[in-house]
A and B are shown apart, each in its own frame.
Chain A
Amino acid sequence: MIAQTETSFASFGRALTGSARIVVILLLIVVVFSALRFDSFVSAANIRNIGMAASILLVMAVGATFVIVTAGVDLSVGAVLVFSGVIAAKVMAAMGGEGWSAAIAGILAAAAAGTVWGILNGMLVAYAKIPALVATLGTMGAAQGLSWIIAGEDLKDVPMALGDTVGVGDVFGIPMLVIIAAVVTIIGGVWLRSTRFGRHTLAIGSNLAASREMGIPIGKHLVSVYAIAGLLAGIAGILSLARYGSTTISGHATDNLSVIAAVVIGGTSLFGGRGSVFLTAVGVLIPASLENGLIMIGLNTFWRDVMVGIVLILAVYLDQMGRSQRR
């Protein structure tokens, strides 16, 4: 009986230091801002704002979760987003610039462009054995530069059909962007947790040599993981294009850091082997709701950067502590 109590106590403690702590932090932020500005912070319009601001970042962060779980990193996501948007805009302009056929061609072009960059990242990491930090720093520069070369200036060829639905449209009162991000998150989350692909992703990040000895095809798997990250950056590219009606080439220079911060705040270990796509969603919502809430209470949004920095360092510190206790 006593042992029973101790166990439940211990598991409660573990949960609080483990994955649940990040949910608690998000709830605290919501509670604090709600207490300060209840009407405006908890209003439907504001929750909508937070959701829309977070959704494009979240789509990229789902892919980044897979990459970071393998103990890798992808710095190129923001640049690949921009590149994919540029290619999509070019394709849609070539198709006449209006209507659904152009929009669908743009979506496919963005997805394909992102996937190609992802495969390139994966080949560089898995077969050329270039550290992920360097390989994706290189492709980041290349994708950003090529975007400017191809576009010349920000392109604004977005079909109304796309902008009005995906960009700012609703389904049952929920923004389409939020629905897309939620669907991507659920598929990604279930994929990582419940499939052989997800299991191999975790195993490679946990112990690369062991995974190789046990017959997991490392090279092929890593290419697939980076390809997924690229594909999702491509999808984020078309979403961004739909929402802002512009390729916003210079607007995504720090997306990679925001995405990595969200993944790490969500408890995914930079050392690989552990992580959850669902908690990444919480990790994206924390900076988004902080920014929004700080504007509401009239504080400079630079305070968001300070607070996100603190939460990020805290998250990694707790991960390190957890590791040293276990080893």
Chain B
Amino acid sequence: MTGAPLLEARNIIKRFGGIEALRGASFSIAPGEVVALMGDNGAGKSTLVKTMCGVYRPDGGDLLFEGRPVHFDSPKAAQALGMEIVYQDLAMAPDLDASANMFLGRELTRSGAAGRLGFLDKKEMRERTRTALASMQVQLKSIDAPIATLSGGQRQSIAVVRAVTWADKLVVMDEPTAALGVAQTRAVLELIGRVKASGRAVIIISHNVPDVMAVADRVEVFRLGRRTARFSRSEMTTENIVGAITGAIATEVAS
């Protein structure tokens, strides 16, 4: 890790009413790195990620993007810097096809008068969808079918490709393999590898130790609203990770 981290959170505090969800949480990820964010339910993983991506505003602490302090007042502000979240529910419209979902909320319109009336450039969107899917080696049964007819793994893949298409720096995935079978999980893990190969950093929130060990460069473990352990690739063992999640191991003391 040379140079500034891509994204760094320092001592973030986030309260919901009287509950302190993040109590001085720190996190960092370097450009092009795959970092797994692990921890028990309620450890603050999702809250941290949503705070880093502008969904929530922190009550304390600092966020640094490429070494500079940033204050996101909306998810759009984080997206503008090249960050996207793949939500656990995928944020997809099941009745629409892959291309409509890729461009959901960012539809391309035709040029000229038709465009000003809001007419969609379906051909261009379809073509770009095809290219984006191909670049990540994702194959669909049909690009024109409503995505409800596709498998869970294929839907997850479209969501990841969509995030990659709009984010050139960082993709966050919330439990990307939680709902998938063995073969589909493998396909999504391979896809994460290709996202890394494309130069983007990836944060994976996960409970699944084998999945994390298969793709992550590092692990940061959260417990009760703050980071309690960090493991490099060589320290990543099931014992270490499970120990840290349950609180038996702590490599960091609260600052």
CB neighbours of A202 from chain B (8 A): 93, 95-96, 100
- Bound complex: CA A273 to CA B147 (Å): 12
Task: Indicate if A88 sits at the interface (CB-CB under 8 A).
Answer: no
Q: In the complex, how many angstroms separate the beta carbon of A279 from the nearest chain B beta carbon?
A: 15
Q: Mark B77-113, 1 if CB is under 8 A from A, else 0.
A: 0000000000101111111100010001111010000
- Check A210/B104 contact, CB under 8 A, given A326-B146, A326-B148: yes
Instruction: Count B interface residues, CB 8 Å.
Output: 25
Q: In the complex the two chains form, is B94's CB within 8 Å of A214's CB?
A: no
Q: In the complex the two chains form, is A211's CB within 8 Å of B148's CB?
A: no
Q: Which of A213, A274, A327 contacts B87 (CB 8 A)?
A: A213
Q: In the complex the two chains form, is B105's CB within 8 Å of A216's CB?
A: yes
Task: Indicate if B118 sits at the interface (CB-CB under 8 A).
Answer: yes
- Bound complex: CA A214 to CA B104 (Å): 6
Q: B79 — nearest CB in chain A belongs to which residue?
A: A215
Q: In the complex the two chains form, is A210's CB within 8 Å of B89's CB?
A: yes
Q: Mark A163-192, 1 if CB is under 8 A from B, else 0.
A: 000000000000000000000000000000
CB neighbours of A216 from chain B (8 A): 104-105
- Bound complex: CA A211 to CA B89 (Å): 12
Which one of A49-57, A104-112, A116-124, A193-201 is at the interface? A193-201
CB neighbours of B117 from chain A (8 A): 195
Q: Which of B87, B89, B120 contacts A195 (CB 8 A)?
A: B120
Task: Indicate if B149 sits at the interface (CB-CB under 8 A).
Answer: yes
Task: Indicate if A203 sits at the interface (CB-CB under 8 A).
Answer: yes
- Check A207/B94 contact, CB under 8 A, given A195-B117, A196-B118: yes
CB neighbours of B92 from chain A (8 A): 207, 210
Q: In the complex the two chains form, is B118's CB within 8 Å of A195's CB?
A: yes
Interface residues of A in 186-243 (CB under 8 A from B): 194-197, 199-200, 202-203, 205-207, 209-211, 213-216
Q: In the complex the two chains form, is B120's CB within 8 Å of A196's CB?
A: yes
CB neighbours of B194 from chain A (8 A): none
- Bound complex: CA A120 to CA B149 (Å): 37
Q: Which of A197, A211, A269 contacts B118 (CB 8 A)?
A: A197
A interface majority secondary structure: helix
Q: Mark B117-157, 1 if CB is under 8 A from A, else 0.
A: 11110100000000000000000000000101100000000
Q: Mark A266-307, 1 if CB is under 8 A from B, else 0.
A: 000100111000000000000000000000000000000000
- Check A214/B105 contact, CB under 8 A, given A199-B100, A202-B96, A206-B95: yes
Q: In the complex the two chains form, is B119's CB within 8 Å of A203's CB?
A: no
- Bound complex: CA A269 to CA B87 (Å): 26
- Bound complex: CA A196 to CA B104 (Å): 10
Q: In the complex the two chains form, is B104's CB within 8 Å of A211's CB?
A: yes
- Bound complex: CA A211 to CA B93 (Å): 8
Q: In the complex the two chains form, is A206's CB within 8 Å of B91's CB?
A: no
Interface residues of A in 32-83 (CB under 8 A from B): none
Q: Which of B90, B96, B120, B148 contacts A194 (CB 8 A)?
A: B120
Q: In the complex the two chains form, is A209's CB within 8 Å of B91's CB?
A: yes
Q: In the complex, how many angstroms separate the beta carbon of B167 from the nearest chain A beta carbon?
A: 14
Q: In the complex the two chains form, is A195's CB within 8 Å of B119's CB?
A: yes
CB neighbours of A196 from chain B (8 A): 107, 109, 118-120
Q: A209 — nearest CB in chain B belongs to which residue?
A: B89
Q: B117 — nearest CB in chain A belongs to which residue?
A: A195
Q: In the complex, how many angstroms separate the beta carbon of A68 from the nearest chain B beta carbon?
A: 13
Q: List 13 A-B contacts (CB under 8 A).
A: A194-B119, A196-B109, A197-B118, A199-B96, A199-B100, A199-B120, A202-B95, A203-B96, A206-B93, A207-B92, A210-B93, A269-B95, A272-B95
Which chain B residues have a beta carbon within 8 Å of chain A's beta carbons? 75-76, 87, 89-96, 100, 104-107, 109, 117-120, 122, 146, 148-149
